[in-house]
Amino acid sequence: MRLRHVENAHEIIKDNEKAIFRPERFKGKWDEIFGNKNPLHVEFGSGRGSFIMGMAEKYPNINYLAFERNSKVVIRALKKLPEECPENFYFAHSDIKLIDEIFNDNDLDRIYLNFSDPWPKKRHSKRRLTYRGFLKDYERILKSSGDLHFKTDNDGLFNFSIEELKEQGWNITLVTRDLHNSQYNEDNVMTEYEKKFSKQGKKINKLIAIPPVE
């Protein structure tokens, strides 16, 4: 199925029990959606959600949201979900630009950014998901004990992200430029892009950072 030929995309998402359409409706109600008060982890720019669903299977006592703005990508992902899908996992169809309308302060325990668009041209730097404007949003919605996990194959984006985080007062607690050959790979769950790039021989960068302390 070609993405451009998906019809009635919003209606399909709206009617799927594992998808949340217009998640801003549930601001302050995420405990009700999952039926518990377990930690909440979110991936922004999840694509087809293979990573976040893998995490949900591995850690059933954590709640997971896979945020993806492209409705057609979400539909393809929903069509490929297994019959026995983890109960602690949902797709959320939305744009990260609406983050203030979706989450209250201190809502999240962890944010994942995996293989985000590098936007390589300097004039597009504000679109990078590790740009300081986004970091301010993450700082607000993360708990003081929360953290940000970032993976990319793009060295330029990785270097940019490290500098942005430092300048904004984040504490970077882990950095590796070759994740799969490091001590940190043991519990790693790979994304679709990660599998693809690894087969091509590319090294995977990863960092973990915690928000600034007021």
Where in the sequence numbering do the catalytic residues fall? 117
Instruction: Round the CA-based radius of gyration of the chain to a whole number and report it.
Output: 17
Distance CA 125, CA 132 (A): 10
CB 191 within 8 A of CB 50: yes
Contact assessment for residue 150 and residue 207, using Cβ atoms and an 8 Å cutoff: yes
For 64-129, give the secondary structure using H, E and C. Answer: EEEEECCHHHHHHHHHCCCCCCCCCEEEEECCHHHHHHHCCCCCEEEEEEECCCCCCCHHHHHHCC
Kind and range of the H or E element at 140?
A: helix 132-141
